[in-house]
């Protein structure tokens, strides 16, 4: 299992970088616990950085020093389940993991992603928001590459990289949540449409 999605204490530094100070580690745990509490109470939208700082009993500056931004905090909160998802589609059992055909894995990927968004919806949304170029987020880049590889495995023709991006765009959390919450579309119908889409795209080259 790689470290692709880990959010290190001080991102960007090489692996052997100086360890985090005790008080800093303690404050991070405090903040994460407080954040989970607040989200349980008020939902993800109800979590503001000021309230979090107050609730955790630290200064506001500390919150931003730890997580960089609100999106960074949300990303950290998601990192565990995110890493789990990633390891499942990269190393887990078929049809999601290796062992099945490219098409089967593509279908399974969409299905898993949809149910992931259904489960962590508002958190995912909050993690994407603000950070502007959400397409450069490490996780997004990884999915993109994953889809591209599966397309190539199926012998997909002209421009697998762009097509992978188009397919990924189809799974945009904001769209999926709007379909389910505003239009009352069932997740099953979403997965059926995804299956149809990737089948058509892959079929014939």
Partner DNA sequence: ATAATAAGCGGACCGCAGTCCGTTTAGATG
Partner DNA sequence: CATCTAAACGGACTGCGGTCCGCTTATTAT
User: What's the CA gap between 19 and 118, in Å, rounded?
Assistant: 36
Query: Is 166 near a copy of itself (CB under 8 A)?
Result: yes
Pick one of 50, 182, 183, 203: the residue that binds DNA (CB under 7 A): 50
Q: Which does 16 bind (CB under 5 to 8 A by kind): DNA, a copy of itself, none?
A: none
Query: Is 62 near DNA (CB under 7 A)?
Result: yes
DSSP per residue over 153-201, as a string? HTT--S-HHHHHHHHHHHT-HHHHHHHHHTT---HHHHHHHHHHHHHHH
Stretch of residues binding DNA (CB under 7 A), selected from 61-69, 88-96, 158-166, 169-177: 61-69
Query: Is 204 near a copy of itself (CB under 8 A)?
Result: yes
Q: Which is nearer to DNA, 74 or 180 (CB)?
A: 74
Residues 67-96 that bind DNA (CB under 7 A): 68-71
Give the tokens for residue 160: 């697998």
SS3 for 136? helix
Site string for DNA, 113-132 (x = CB under 7 A): -----------------x--
CB 82 within 8 A of CB 5: yes
Ramachandran bin of 155, using left for φ above 0, alpha for ψ from -120 to 50, beta for the remaining angles = left
User: What's the CA gap between 177 and 165, in Å, rounded?
Assistant: 19
The answer for residues whose C-beta is within 8 angstroms of residue 174's C-beta and 6 or more apart is 125, 128
Q: Which is nearer to a copy of itself, 7 or 164 (CB)?
A: 164
Site string for a copy of itself, 109-148 (x = CB under 8 A): ------------------------xxxx------------
Pick one of 131, 159, 184, 187: the residue that binds a copy of itself (CB under 8 A): 159
């Amino acid at each position: 299992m790689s470290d692709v999605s880990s959010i290190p204490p001080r991102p960007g530094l090489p692996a052997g970088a100086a360890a985090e100070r005790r008080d800093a580690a303690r404050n991070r745990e405090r903040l994460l616990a407080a954040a989970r509490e607040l989200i349980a109470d008020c939902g993800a939208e109800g979590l503001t950085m000021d309230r979090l700082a107050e609730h955790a009993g630290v200064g506001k500056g500390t919150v931003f020093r730890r997580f960089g931004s609100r999106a960074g905090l949300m990303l950290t909160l998601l990192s565990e389940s995110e890493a789990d998802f990633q390891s499942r589609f990269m190393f887990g059992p078929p049809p999601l993991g290796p062992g099945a055909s490219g098409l089967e894995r593509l279908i399974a990927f969409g299905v898993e992603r949809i149910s992931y968004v259904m489960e962590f919806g508002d958190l995912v949304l909050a993690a994407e928001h603000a950070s502007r170029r959400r397409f450069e987020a490490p996780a997004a880049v990884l999915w993109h590459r994953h889809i591209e590889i599966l397309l190539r495995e199926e012998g997909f023709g002209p421009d697998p990289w762009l097509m992978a991006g188009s397919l990924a765009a189809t799974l945009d959390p904001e769209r999926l949540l709007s379909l389910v919450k505003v239009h009352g579309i069932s997740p099953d119908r979403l997965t059926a449409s995804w299956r149809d889409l990737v089948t058509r795209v892959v079929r014939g080259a």
